[in-house]
Structure 1
Amino acid sequence: MNHVLCGLAANAALPSELVDRLISVADADIAEGLAGRADLSHAQAVALASRVEEVAVGLAYEGLLTTADVDPTARPHAALALLDERSGDLEWARLFASDPDAERREKLAACPGLPPDVVETLAADSDVRVVAELAAWTTPDMAARLAQHPHAEVRRAVAANEATPPDVLAMLISGEGLPPAERCLVCDGEETPFVHDPQCPRLDCDLRSGASCAGSHESTVLEMVELALQNPSTPVEAVVRFVDHPSTPLRRLLAARPDLPPEVWGRLADDPVPGVRADLAGNPAIGEALIRSLATDGGHDVQRTLAHHPRVPFDVLSSLAGAVKIGPSLLPRIAAASPTEVEELAKWSNPAARMLLAERRDLPAEIRDALAADPDARVVRSIAGHPGLSEAQLRSMVERHGVRVVAKVAGNPDAPPALLEDLTGHVPPVQKAFREVARHRNATGPALLACLADRRARPIAAAHPALPPTVLVELLADDDWRVVEAAAANPSLPPTVMSKLAPEPGGE
């Protein structure tokens, strides 16, 4: 792989004529960078797709290739991408419906807006995976028909399709009103009873992990029910029967549904498995009484998940902040707090709770400044990235709390150049601060040179446009390929150097 040319292909400042030169010599790696360019013209996209077929699919999805540019027999994957985008020729769909390659028929089956005759052809396909793919995306009428398919894999796909009629979904998970499935992927190829080894050594085996069949297609049926429980179209009266099911994964999926009756949530709150109760704690539809009950649940992940609930009361959130490690994240309830609530939250006596408020980036100046002067390093670390803080405030944070806040201060969008330079020389050094400075818009050449000395910050710094051009040229020969690509992609690379790097036409 030529890392210099790969980086150059992604360089936003690369002149159009040099893009053309790279297209003329592109391999798959160089083509990937060229295909991602925002300034790639239609003519260049066509030339690139002709040169490297692997990128044609992505170019088709981006709208850079049209029906006139694609021969479905020469570039079938690009043609299928256009059909998937509803911009391909529908005659292509008829061509692919009888394609001997089952993978192409399977891809076609997932495309929207197919002609009715093509849908009928795919529904009768000899390869069950093609029919299953159709079942996962098709219309309500066809989904209802395929729910009666004799293969359990097709029924499994119908259960995942949100267009499947609710009464059909109810029949799938109850088994009532449908003939039993006759086959599954397991018994298609194995003598039953059979349980697929999760560490299966067979290179040609494509059974899912845990697949099993003892004659009733057990694993596929279980997966079908799991998918139906996740399907919002499945009626609630059909899913509540699983509240006491012996399968923990089923009960966990049930606990996440927002449409359950309160009495079912109450039973799930007493589930012996903490994971079920944690999924219930994350359910946005549960009420305050249940939230308060779960707040005292010490089961694994229950309280941490509850802290992310969008309607958790603030007094509960304050207690959770002191009980579990929530981390530096903006919680939904904090993000939705009104101006009056923000003023109240700023007065919390619990520093762990004030830290949660400090994660907001739209605080009034007086509250932001008060949190910036907070005596607790956790609060200061959370507020350090807030825009609008002055250089004096940022320097004061570092003076008071040292290495605990240096990286966060370095990541403040308004950190001035002089401060960034000083942070790269902090004693003791803070490695994460180098990475923050290396990507900072205000970083200067001296600050970036200091970042180059850090192994993890070096590739980031090599991409910064403020890095001196002479240094960029030197980095093109670096031992680290990531640094080489970043330097070649740097828009500050001198145009004369770009021209020398791009091979002349016919020079590959």
Structure 2
Amino acid sequence: MQTPDQIWNDADLPTRRLAGLALNPSAPQDVLLRLLADGPLAVRMVLCRDRILPDAVVDAVIEHPDTYTRSFFARNPHVDPAQRARLIDDPEWFVRAHLAEGPRMPSPARPKPLPDEAIVHMISTYEDENMGSLGFYQQISTGLRRSLHTHPVAKVRCWGVGRWSGLSADARAALLADPDADVRERAQRHERYEDPACMERELPARPCHGRTDILLNRALSRAVVDGVLTAPAREDERATIAANPSLPTDVVVLLAADPDPEVRRRIASRADLGPDERRGLAVDPDPKVRLAVSVHPELSEKERAAIDYEVPMDCGFTFRHAPEVPPAPEAVRRDALSAHPLLRRKAAGDHSLPPDLVARLAADEDLGVRVLLAQNHPHAPAPLLLRSFLEYTGRERAHLTTRPNFPTTGLAAFADHEDPEVRALVALDPETGPATVERLTRDPDPAVRAALARHPNLPPPRLAELLDDEELAHVAAANPAWDADTIRRLAAAPLDGRT
């Protein structure tokens, strides 16, 4: 089977032009239905995968005889998930597998949850290999995820066991005594993870993923810890156990003086680090160790200020998904008011930060604080969003333009900016003049050319010219400036390159 990239790469100019029409928000429903019925595979791919569709077109997609076509719709991130869920009992496993995998979305976006009843039906009837992906788990609503362990369907309760660490003692006991053998077995497996003797018996002798998982996350017996200290299977295993919550206190003390700075750095992040160890690590010769201990929750602001740490600027200031259990408001406020930039960055990523702290951190002297606030807070102000985009060039920079308050006016002023990503912002400004739009369709940067080819103010002669451009034909055909009659004429043209 061809991959989506192969399908698109094999598409010729007329096909790409039709694909652009399929994405055009001005395309009438009858055109979309014709392209769905008669269009080449690449056209059906973008039509079914890359846009919202009228109900009549959705009905036609669900009944379409081509497996590929239905599978593209199964991964559409734009439509209502309930529409995608109509494919839940599709006769082809290929379609069902794509529905379970969910839409492919650029980071940090996640798909909207499928209806709870759809998820329950899939868990109950699909093969396990179709549901083992992160994409499936991300399509489960928060409410259902929290209640899986009490669901009346045993296979669904099995999924709920995976939240073992967050379950109450009563919930765990109920799962251990569940009438279903599979549920009991999964619960017993998780209970064994907390039994040092069981983990000692199950610990693989040679380096592997299973051994690393136990050393990092599971309950460790003293014999296992001593074995790692005296005869590790791999040199970095002391650093691995340094982060394990079950590490004995005396070993925490021992590793705080380990010759490996990576071990000391991980130890420095432990909440159970003693005061003597904190003082020792605060003057550690390695700057990363000093930085790690400088944000320890037990330190006072005075103690933090006494540490010679350097805050890194070469890291990604990106969107953080809200945790299921929100942090305590008083802890967030304490971090936001801290003199330590890393703690203020931590607070800036909180989605529910109150207005007074939003205003305070929006004017913070640290770039990371400002950008993290812009990336994460739903009410980040427009001036902060634009400033962050102009100053930050790291990962997920483009995500800033998707934030609710990102400005769209005045962006035409950046038409001659040296940074092509900034020049591309001009495409978001509806007031950009036709001459500027046309000029930027000839920009040296391909992303700028593509962005401006979509602008509705592009002069009609240039827009028509781009329909025969190998690079930009599909973008130009998607331009909303085309009227319905012209779209119908273009869509009816034979696939021989004529328009």
TM (norm. structure 1) is: 0.55
- Does structure 1 residue 387 correspond to structure 2 residue 381? yes
Letter in 2 for 1:174: E
Letter in 2 for 1:43: D
For 1:500, which of 472, 486, 489 is the aligned residue?
A: 489
What CA distance in whole angstroms lies between the structure 2 residues aligned with 1:490 and 1:82?
30
Count of residues paired in the alignment: 394
What CA distance in whole angstroms lies between the structure 2 residues aligned with 1:493 and 1:424?
24
What CA distance in whole angstroms lies between the structure 2 residues aligned with 1:331 and 1:298?
33
What CA distance in whole angstroms lies between the structure 2 residues aligned with 1:380 and 1:80?
41
For 1:477, which of 461, 465, 468 is the aligned residue?
A: 468
Letter in 2 for 1:444: T
Task: State the percentage of identical aligned residues.
Answer: 19
What CA distance in whole angstroms lies between the structure 1 residues aligned with 2:416 and 2:266?
46
Segments of structure 2 that go 5 or more residues without pairing to the other structure are 1-10, 101-117, 137-147, 159-178, 321-326
Q: 1:173 to 1:49 in 2, by over 3 A?
A: farther
1:135 is aligned to: none
Q: Is contact 2:454–2:479 with CA below 8 Å preserved after alignment?
A: yes
Q: Is contact 2:71–2:95 with CA below 8 Å preserved after alignment?
A: no
- Does structure 1 residue 444 correspond to structure 2 residue 432? yes
Deviation at residue 106 of structure 1 after TM alignment: 4.6
Q: 1:323 to 1:168 in 2, by over 3 A?
A: closer
1:4 is aligned to: 17
What CA distance in whole angstroms lies between the structure 1 residues aligned with 2:493 and 2:243?
59
Q: How does 1:397-476 map to 2 (within 5 A)?
A: 417-418=409-410, 420-425=411-416, 429-435=418-424, 437-438=425-426, 440=428, 444-445=432-433, 448-449=437-438, 451-452=440-441, 453-459=443-449, 461-462=451-452, 465=455, 467-468=457-458, 470=460, 471-476=462-467
What CA distance in whole angstroms lies between the structure 2 residues aligned with 1:115 and 1:366?
49
Deviation at residue 455 of structure 1 after TM alignment: 0.3
Letter in 1 for 2:489: K
Q: Is contact 2:20–2:475 with CA below 8 Å preserved after alignment?
A: yes
Deviations 1:425-454 (A, max 9, x none): 35xx3444314x246456624665564424
Letter in 1 for 2:219: P
2:313 is aligned to: 326
Deviations 1:43-99 (A, max 9, x none): 133134635264375379955466887454xx1233456789432596x66xx7xxx
Deviations 1:377-397 (A, max 9, x none): 99999999972649xx98xx9
Letter in 1 for 2:451: A
What CA distance in whole angstroms lies between the structure 2 residues aligned with 1:323 and 1:439?
39
2:49 is aligned to: 35
What CA distance in whole angstroms lies between the structure 2 residues aligned with 1:312 and 1:439?
48
For 2:242, which of 255, 259, 265 is the aligned residue?
A: 255
What CA distance in whole angstroms lies between the structure 1 residues aligned with 2:201 and 2:393?
61
Deviation at residue 24 of structure 1 after TM alignment: 1.5
1:164 is aligned to: 190
1:55 is aligned to: 72
Q: Is contact 1:9–1:22 with CA below 8 Å preserved after alignment?
A: yes
Q: Is contact 2:467–2:473 with CA below 8 Å preserved after alignment?
A: yes
For 1:77, which of 94, 100, 103 is the aligned residue?
A: 94
What CA distance in whole angstroms lies between the structure 2 residues aligned with 1:167 and 1:365?
41
- Does structure 1 residue 235 correspond to structure 2 residue 214? no
Segments of structure 1 that go 5 or more residues without pairing to the other structure are 97-104, 120-138, 146-157, 179-215, 398-402
Q: 1:38 to 1:431 in 2, by over 3 A?
A: closer
Q: 1:274 to 1:467 in 2, by over 3 A?
A: farther
2:120 is aligned to: 86
Q: Is contact 1:24–1:51 with CA below 8 Å preserved after alignment?
A: no
1:192 is aligned to: none
SS state at 2:63 partner = helix
Q: Is contact 1:369–1:389 with CA below 8 Å preserved after alignment?
A: no
Q: Is contact 1:252–1:276 with CA below 8 Å preserved after alignment?
A: yes
What CA distance in whole angstroms lies between the structure 2 residues aligned with 1:140 and 1:229?
31
Q: 1:36 to 1:162 in 2, by over 3 A?
A: farther
What CA distance in whole angstroms lies between the structure 2 residues aligned with 1:359 and 1:421?
30
Letter in 2 for 1:46: I
Q: 1:438 to 1:47 in 2, by over 3 A?
A: farther
For 1:174, which of 191, 200, 206 is the aligned residue?
A: 200
Q: Is contact 1:434–1:454 with CA below 8 Å preserved after alignment?
A: no
Q: 1:143 to 1:492 in 2, by over 3 A?
A: same
Q: Is contact 1:459–1:486 with CA below 8 Å preserved after alignment?
A: no
Q: Is contact 1:424–1:450 with CA below 8 Å preserved after alignment?
A: no
What CA distance in whole angstroms lies between the structure 1 residues aligned with 2:122 and 2:287?
50
2:258 is aligned to: 271
Deviation at residue 225 of structure 1 after TM alignment: 1.6
What CA distance in whole angstroms lies between the structure 2 residues aligned with 1:384 and 1:66?
34
Deviation at residue 237 of structure 1 after TM alignment: 4.0
Deviation at residue 7 of structure 1 after TM alignment: 3.7
Q: 1:80 to 1:298 in 2, by over 3 A?
A: same
Q: 1:495 to 1:67 in 2, by over 3 A?
A: closer
Letter in 1 for 2:488: S
Q: 1:316 to 1:414 in 2, by over 3 A?
A: farther
